[in-house]
Amino acid sequence: MDYAAQDFTPEQIERARAYKRSVRPLRIISTILGLAVPLVLGLTPAGAGLVRVAGDVAGGGWVARALLGSVALSLLGLVLRLPLSMWSETVSRRWGLSKRGWGLFAADTAKGFLIGVVLTAAAIGALYALMRHAGDAWWVWAALAAALLALLGSFIMPVLIEPLFNKFKPLPDGPLRERLMALVEQSGVPVKDILVSDSSRRTTAANAYVSGLGKTRRLVVWDTTTDSLDTGEVAAIAAHELGHAARRDVLTGTVFGAVGAALGVAVLAAALHWSPLLDAAGVDHAEDPRSQALVRAVLVLIGLIGEPWGLAYSRYIEGRADGYALDLFRDPDTIVRMERALAVQNIADLEPRRWEVLLRYTHPPIPARIAHARGWAAQTGVAIPKPLSAPSKDPGAP
């Protein structure tokens, strides 16, 4: 059965296909670049040479090479990715998904780079300090530190990092806030506040999410969502997000991330003691900060192997949150309308191939999520949502 045709017009389906064709070259080149650059730098002496040159600027000591070498590698990555980022921004504008001017694009890029380069340099510096001073057990301490950082990230992201890119304000009093607060109370999930982010400065896409743990947990709704969807549809999104909190998905994901980070360090330690890799990278021993390009290459390979498993888990918890939302909200018709509205607004792929879902998707495809809602309705005796493929006004393709 063609599930997409039940709920989307031929024009909407063709628009999604056309958008997919327009971004396919970007995805291919981005994937190739994301693999080729770290592997070339890490598995040849090129990366070690760049780190040496950068460190020599400040005397050539191990600290200088660790910190300035990290900055140099990050800067090279930025320079190589920037044309692709600008191309992606241009495509998003052409399709009406991006509202950023080049000034805001530059500011976002600069802030993202500075945050990343500082955190990466600090991590690299700490890694080589442990290698040089913690003996053979350095990797144990590094694994514990990586796990701790993953845990801390869930607490500091909402209060330190997110405000650097968006402004947040409490959802104003009114019918929508009353509806969402009633859902929060019904779910029994402790939420510090319901916030609206000024995402419309950057995009026309709609979204919402739960972030933080404990006292930092909040439900965030993009202003594009409140502006484009009706109260029931926004409440349906909120019910899904509350499902993540109720099932402790943020905490579980954080713990899995911490365990994954620790395991990654253990694999990294084993790789750094394999002499053929060190020879390929042009370094004599792992404690030499010139090996940090090799560190990045190994981490990229670890991520490449682990990513499909992480995506599969993400799709599982997203599907589970959909089920929670249906149980809490008990209005599959509104949920189907919400899924359809988001798909049209965000130009979602309505016909993804199986391998695309396995290798790229953090969420089940939209047609599968709509089918889930209809299946829930059939099982619980609630009226099954009817097909929604009546003509509607949609943004035109470029």
Residues placed in the known binding site for Zn(2+): 240, 244, 318
Query: What is residue 137's three-state secondary structure?
Result: helix
Residues with catalytic annotation? Answer: 241, 322
Q: Name the token pair of 242.
A: 């509350």
- Per residue, the 3-state secondary structure of 325-386, as one string, reads HHHHHCCHHHHHHHHHHHHHHHCCCCCCCHHHHHHHCCCCCHHHHHHHHHHHHHHHCCCCCC
Query: Distance between CA 336 and CA 340 in Å, rounded?
Result: 6
Query: Distance between CA 2 and CA 288 in Å, rounded?
Result: 57
| Displacement of CA 341 from its chain's centroid (Å) | 22
Query: Distance between CA 13 and CA 285 in Å, rounded?
Result: 55
Q: In Å, how far are 90, 151, 261, 282 from 255, measured between CA atoms? A: 37, 7, 10, 36
